[in-house]
């Protein structure tokens, strides 16, 4: 079947009400009918519910934007994180196999321990530092172990102009005076719109069917949370100081990698797709809606 026909047959979008899910619903709309499923419509940790939803919709493509994303809370809720992030993707992969659908699934830079000292490639050793990362790694493995056309996209530091994320939090807290932000964790902030457009570019690519697998899909370049906060403050034109603090000054339940930058060379090599630099992507977001 030709590549574009898979999406034309219908896209079942799980996690449609999350920040990435909302962007995907908009960006994928032109490709074919998009069936949006929220947590209330289908719990991806419920194998029977997943199979029933997929049997009913018979999509050509399943896109899974549903996940347990509370990184710190996951330390105390391991079973729930595993149910949703490790077993859920396996159920979706089995359901995709049963109807011949492709599967797009998202994973995280937090599968790495942050000690590489250079951007991580897809075949670098994973060694998650926290339960969330561990649960996401198991989810990737569950999808990639099944013999189906699956794209597992590891992404990082997602944000949007709306909803609850780092950008909106910085904007809100800036009203209360100087911000204290961690300066010794490095990553690549990625707007959800950029990741949604990347997903679309993969699905319409003429060679997509031959290029299934694991890809790093985050914006190019890197910054610290402190550097990102400074850029956000500048973008909003806010007059507030952003003070650097260390990870040790801001203890959290979950340990996080110090350097989880993702190398996007494989996506470029196999599919010719590149993502913009993180600062260009932030600027673009403000160009769209000053």
Ligand X SMILES: NC(=O)C1=CN([C@@H]2O[C@H](COP(=O)(O)OP(=O)(O)OC[C@H]3O[C@@H](n4cnc5c(N)ncnc54)[C@H](O)[C@@H]3O)[C@@H](O)[C@H]2O)C=CC1
Q: Which residues bind ligand X (CB under 6 A)?
A: 14-15, 17-21, 39, 43-45, 65-69, 84, 106, 108, 136, 155-158
Please state the closest distance from residue 20 (CB atom) to ligand X, in A: 3
Q: Considering the complex, what minimum distance in angstroms separates the CB of residue 237 from ligand X?
A: 25
Q: 200 CB contacts (<8 Å, ≥6 apart)?
A: 27, 28, 31
- Using an 8 Å Cβ cutoff, are 255 and 130 in contact? yes
Based on CB atoms, which residue is closest to ligand X, 3 or 167?
A: 167
What residue is closest to ligand X based on CB? 18
Options 68, 120, 132, 186, the catalytic residue: 132
- Residue closer to ligand X by CB (options 44, 57) is 44
Per-residue b or e along 105-122, where b marks 16 or more CB atoms closer than 10 Å to that residue's CB: bbbbbbbbbbebeebbeb
Complex with ligand X: residue 4 or 38, whichever CB lies closer? 38
**Which has the closest alpha carbon to 135: 195, 75, 224, 210?**
75
Smallest distance, Å, CB 177 to ligand X? Answer: 26
Q: Which is nearer to ligand X, 17 or 274 (CB)?
A: 17
110 is catalytic: no
User: Could you say which DSSP state residue 259 is in?
Assistant: B
d(CA 22, CA 32): 16
The total of other beta-carbon atoms located within 10 Å of residue 272's CB is: 10
Other CB atoms within 10 A of residue 213 CB: 12
CB of 1 to ligand X, least distance (A): 27
| Residues known to be catalytic | 132
């Amino acid at each position: 079947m030709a590549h574009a026909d898979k999406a034309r047959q219908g896209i079942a979008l799980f996690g449609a009400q999350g920040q990435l899910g909302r962007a995907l619903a908009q960006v994928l709309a032109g490709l074919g009918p998009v069936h949006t499923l929220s947590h209330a419509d289908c719990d991806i940790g419920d194998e029977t519910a997943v199979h029933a939803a997929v049997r009913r919709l018979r999509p050509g493509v399943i896109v899974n934007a549903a996940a347990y994303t509370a990184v710190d809370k996951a330390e105390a809720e391991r079973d729930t994180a595993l149910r949703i992030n490790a077993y859920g993707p396996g159920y979706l992969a089995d359901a995709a196999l049963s109807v011949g659908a492709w599967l797009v699934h998202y994973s995280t830079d937090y599968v790495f321990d942050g000690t590489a000292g250079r951007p991580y490639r897809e075949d670098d050793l994973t060694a998650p530092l926290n339960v969330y990362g561990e649960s996401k790694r198991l989810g990737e493995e569950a999808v990639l172990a099944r013999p189906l056309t699956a794209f597992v996209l590891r992404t990082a530091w997602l944000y949007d102009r709306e909803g609850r994320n780092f950008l909106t939090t910085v904007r809100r807290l800036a009203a209360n005076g100087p911000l204290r932000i961690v300066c010794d964790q490095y990553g690549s902030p990625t707007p959800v719109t950029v990741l949604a457009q990347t997903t679309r570019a993969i699905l319409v690519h003429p060679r997509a069917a031959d290029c299934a697998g694991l890809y790093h899909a985050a914006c190019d370049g890197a910054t610290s949370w402190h550097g990102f906060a400074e850029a956000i403050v500048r973008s909003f034109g806010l007059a507030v100081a952003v003070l650097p603090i260390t990870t040790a000054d801001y203890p959290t339940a979950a340990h996080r990698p110090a350097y989880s930058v993702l190398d996007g060379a494989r996506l470029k090599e196999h599919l010719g797709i590149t993502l913009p630099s993180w600062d260009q992507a932030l600027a673009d977001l403000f160009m769209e809606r000053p």
